[in-house]
């Protein structure tokens, strides 16, 4: 947690590193807002509130698509929560680096999304909380602003997939994973996690494979000379 003497400098660093993703996130926010308006499963105000509080694209898209397809609210809720279950293990990785009053930890933890968390982990086992804060704030602002813009336009501005933006997120995760593969344990955990996720995709609801992949971390217990 070498935050250095200048936390504002590292907050800015996180914000800058998040900028390319902020663009993609804003475009997906526009699509989310436009989807809500065009399919009409909820009003604009709750939709905007959802972006501000849930702040997780995949879960929000899942919930809205289920509702607009005529699904039950409880189905939408379960699907979205399953997709966000990964934030429990992700939060555990951040926990040792957060200190201070409980409400500060709670608020800082809300800035954890896949991208901000990945940007703040430097791949050598360290985690930079100010980078998380800078990246998280930029991504949150672009997600909420994108949603607002999308709600205003009312119709889809085209599919971000046409621009290849759906490949931007796995590419980010891959770039951030590579430095963690230098140790044999890191490599083994990644290979096992990837295989577990792929094997489960056809058999479990979306979200479950990612949570299950986290179980691969238990190979850290192998060969520790302890029962």
Total site size for another protein, rule CB under 8 A:
108
- The minimum distance between CB 156 and another protein, in angstroms, equals 17
Of 13, 32, 34, 87, the one binding another protein by CB under 8 A: 87
* Rounded Cα–Cα distance for residues 138 and 15 (Å): 6
* Rounded Cα–Cα distance for residues 105 and 41 (Å): 34
Our finding on whether 134 is near another protein (CB under 8 A) is no
Of 11, 59, 131, 151, the one binding another protein by CB under 8 A: 59
168 within 8 A of 21, measured Cβ to Cβ: yes
Of 15, 31, 35, 56, the one binding another protein by CB under 8 A: 56
* Rounded Cα–Cα distance for residues 62 and 78 (Å): 10
Our finding on whether 157 is near another protein (CB under 8 A) is no
Our finding on whether 135 is near another protein (CB under 8 A) is no
Compute the C-alpha angle 172/184/18, nearest 5°.
15
State the DSSP string of 142-185.
Answer: HHHHHHHHHHHH-S----GGGGTGGGHHHHHHHHHHGGGGSSHH
**E strand or H helix at 52, and its extent?**
helix 44-53
Our finding on whether 224 is near another protein (CB under 8 A) is yes
- The minimum distance between CB 145 and another protein, in angstroms, equals 18
Our finding on whether 5 is near another protein (CB under 8 A) is no
- The minimum distance between CB 227 and another protein, in angstroms, equals 11
Closer of 145 and 190 to another protein (Cβ): 190
């Amino acid at each position: 947690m070498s935050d250095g003497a200048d936390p504002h400098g590292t907050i800015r660093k996180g914000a800058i590193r998040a900028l390319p993703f902020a663009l993609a996130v804003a475009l997906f926010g526009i699509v989310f807002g436009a989807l809500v308006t065009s399919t009409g499963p909820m009003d604009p105000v709750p939709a905007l509130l959802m972006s501000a509080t849930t702040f997780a694209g995949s879960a929000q898209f899942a919930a809205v698509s289920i509702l607009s397809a005529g699904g039950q609210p409880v189905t939408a809720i379960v699907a979205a929560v399953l997709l966000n279950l990964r934030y429990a293990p992700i939060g555990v990785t951040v926990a040792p680096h957060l200190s201070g009053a409980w409400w500060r930890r709670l608020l800082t933890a809300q800035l954890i999304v896949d991208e901000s968390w990945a940007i703040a982990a430097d791949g050598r086992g360290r985690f930079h909380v100010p980078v998380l804060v800078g990246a998280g704030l930029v991504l949150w602002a672009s997600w909420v602003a994108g949603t607002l813009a999308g709600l205003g336009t009312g119709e889809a501005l085209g599919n971000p997939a046409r621009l290849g933006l759906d490949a931007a997120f796995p590419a980010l995760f891959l770039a951030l994973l590579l430095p963690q593969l230098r140790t044999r344990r890191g490599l083994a955990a990644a290979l096992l996690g990837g295989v577990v996720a792929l094997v489960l995709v056809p058999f479990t609801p979306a979200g479950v494979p990612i949570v299950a992949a986290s179980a691969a971390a238990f190979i850290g217990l192998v060969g520790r000379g302890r029962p």
